[in-house]
Amino acid sequence: MGNDLKLKKISDYLWEIPKSGKMQVPARIYATRHMLPKILSDNAPQQAANVAHLPGIVNYSMAMPDIHWGYGFPIGGVAAFDLDRGVISPGGVGYDINCGVRLMASKLTRDQIAPRMQNLVAHLFDSVPTGVGASGKLHVKNKDLQRVVAGGAKWAVSNGYGSESDLEYIEENGRIDGFEPDFVSEKAYKRGQKQLGTLGSGNHFLEVGYVAEIYDEQAASALGLFPDQVTVIIHCGSRGFGYQVCDDFLALMDAAIKKYGIELPDRQLACAPVQSNEAQRYLGAMRCAINYAFANRQIIAHNTKLAFEAALRQGSEKIGLRTVYEVAHNIAKIEMHEVNGKKTKLCVHRKGATRAFAPGHTEVPQAYRHIGQPVLIPGDMGRYSYVLVGTETAMQETFGSTCHGAGRAMSRNKAKKVAHGRDVRQELEEQGIYVRGASRRTIDEEIPEAYKDVSEVVDTCANAGISRKVAQLRPLGCIKG
């Protein structure tokens, strides 16, 4: 178990599991000493060490402060692989491919929407379907779905969901190349037909909040953020489509480890050499799921704007709801990074981790290039979320990566037990936070105390230098999957 591992202190915010046995590299965990007992209470640190066994891994297997147990890789895991000797592992991306976060900001202030907040949450709940297997109003046939996975957010915009101006402020501009629709199963297409424009279940949510604190005036100004400004966070992914893509390829990868003679400490790390047919097929299908998720969030963002207009009885110009930025945090991408002083193409796996590119990077939107890539870190529905930006330290230490959220502190079953006999929705309403969920169970499973305090996670990343704090957002209303 994770608590049997010997940790070596690198700094107050970084710990190392030294290379041993068949580990190719050490494993590193970003955390404070205070956070370690909770981190070591599950198997996630052992998973980080297991990842270090994978062929062709570069520098370190890394874990962010929101690390917790996941499938194969820990959630919060980051690993980069050499394209010639390395591998790609579906467990390093996860089932919810391109789960990610969009931040939107308005011209409105908290006082302006407070009297209509309950009505706004009701309109959002009606406009954005939530829950397990939820279907949206948009149904597409397989032929059209192939256009969705080829076009991503651009497909959504071309079909009337949002505007071209949104695309500049989405990671990869809302569409990644290298997709291969023929590598996606019929079952995945069938699951994806009715789920565009839906949140899904679990920790996915749409939250209306406001800018509570600003830590960096210059960066906040560049992002167009100001005190008390009304914001929206959308957190969701590729729904059943992405889940099925992952599931379909696990068996293929399991066969691949035997075919290529790869030894693993955990079968959930099933993988194939990056250049192999199996890996290339997975990459092609995974990129389809990436684009599906980009389209999904674009549609939700558009429907969110319409819900604001209906609930507030105001026009779009007066509300001014726009996309600040959108990031992915379950993804594997081919990126250029410096290794031993040399620019090298790598396959970077981020599972429950966010890209955090530094100021000046060409993949950061021109409007933000002087401050670095925006990083969006959602918390729980009772406390706060954060806006950060990427740093040069992240480029040097973590392949331009940082944390992605609070990280669960309780299982869903434990959260339900803790919430038993309570009216969580009423508790939040007494704090001025209106919540709607697909069911009472959904809300109970997502009680605020089921999550670590995201401020500790964010402060750890900031103090370690792998991202910089810009603003804190606090919730006013939330719809949960």
The residues annotated as belonging to the active site are 404
For residue 83, the tally of other CB atoms under 10 A from its CB is 15
Residue type, 398: T
| 3-class state of residue 86 by DSSP | coil
In 3D space, the residue among 314, 351, 318 whose CA is nearest the CA of residue 332 turns out to be 351
C-alpha span between 230 and 228 (Å, rounded): 6
| 3-class state of residue 156 by DSSP | helix
C-alpha span between 475 and 451 (Å, rounded): 15
CA distances 123 to 58, 61, 111, Å, are 48, 44, 19
147 neighbors 159 (Cβ within 8 angstroms): no
Residue type, 259: K
Q: Pairing mode, if any, of strands 354-355 and 342-351?
A: unpaired
223 neighbors 374 (Cβ within 8 angstroms): yes
Q: What is the DSSP string of 161-177?
A: SS-HHHHTTBGGGG--S
| 3-class state of residue 206 by DSSP | strand
CA distances 260 to 80, 278, 284, 346, Å, are 20, 11, 20, 20
Structure tokens at 246: 């992952």
C-alpha span between 8 and 474 (Å, rounded): 36
